[in-house]
Amino acid sequence: AQSVTQLGSHVSVSEGALVLLRCNYSSSVPPYLFWYVQYPNQGLQLLLKYTSAATLVKGINGFEAEFKKSETSFHLTKPSAHMSDAAEYFCAVSDQAGGATNKLIFGTGTLLAVQP
Amino acid sequence: ETGVTQSPTHLIKTRGQQVTLRCSSQSGHNTVSWYQQALGQGPQFIFQYYREEENGRGNFPPRFSGLQFPNYSSELNVNALELDDSALYLCASSSLRVDTGELFFGEGSRLTVL
């Protein structure tokens, strides 16, 4: 069965610093992987997705993630943090087994704080 | 293009009551999924509807039920509410494709059970 693990429930960076949010996955089949962002009192917005094309995926708001099969990782990065990046970030894997397609399995989330 | 809309945005119920949450899917999408997000947790899959039929279910008891209508909108019903049902309920729509699995989420309905 597929699963994702997000290391670090809270990450704090200074404005302008590198953002690195970690995600490791477990999947018995080639995975489809996603990063979503959730701002306070809002739903989830897709940042980027990996669907077996290029291993380096670029998303919105300057974020990118690299799929590394050997490390079973899909870490999210941004070269320079902005105050508006403060939010909760969720890594997810698409569960391609069972009856439902487009079913996502989410990690527990990483809350990103950006200090001025 | 109209996004996913959910109603109500907030509601308070007491233990044992029943609740109905509603969702309008994004135009062009024929699949609706429901997720429960407890405080401090990631969303958990409840079930998915495709062409008005349940198309997969997560680990939730039968008192969680749903409907999908011909216009692809959907309802989530929860009977005999328990305190642990307090959560943000997220609806997501998609086109049923095997190739991407991408979901488009609404802003959620926050349910508080007292």
Contact B93, B72 (CB under 8 A): yes
The vertex-B55 CA angle with B49 and B56, nearest 5°, equals 115
Q: Which residues on chain A are in Cβ contact (under 8 Å) with B96?
A: 101-102
pLDDT tens digit string along B75-108? 999 999 999 999 999 999 987 654 566 788 999 9
A residues 72-91 lying closer than 8 A (beta carbon) to B:
90
Between chain A and chain B, the number of residue pairs with CB atoms below 8 A apart is 84
* Interval B31-49 mean pLDDT: 93
pLDDT tens digit string along A12-69? 999 999 999 999 999 877 788 999 999 988 889 999 999 877 899 999 999 999 999 9
* Interval B60-83 mean pLDDT: 96
8 Å CB contact of A34 and B101: yes
Contact A89, A81 (CB under 8 A): no
CB-based contact, A101 to chain B, within 8 Å: yes
A residues 2-41 lying closer than 8 A (beta carbon) to B:
32, 34, 36, 41
- Which one, of B80, B79, B51, B82, lies nearest residue B67 by Cα? B51
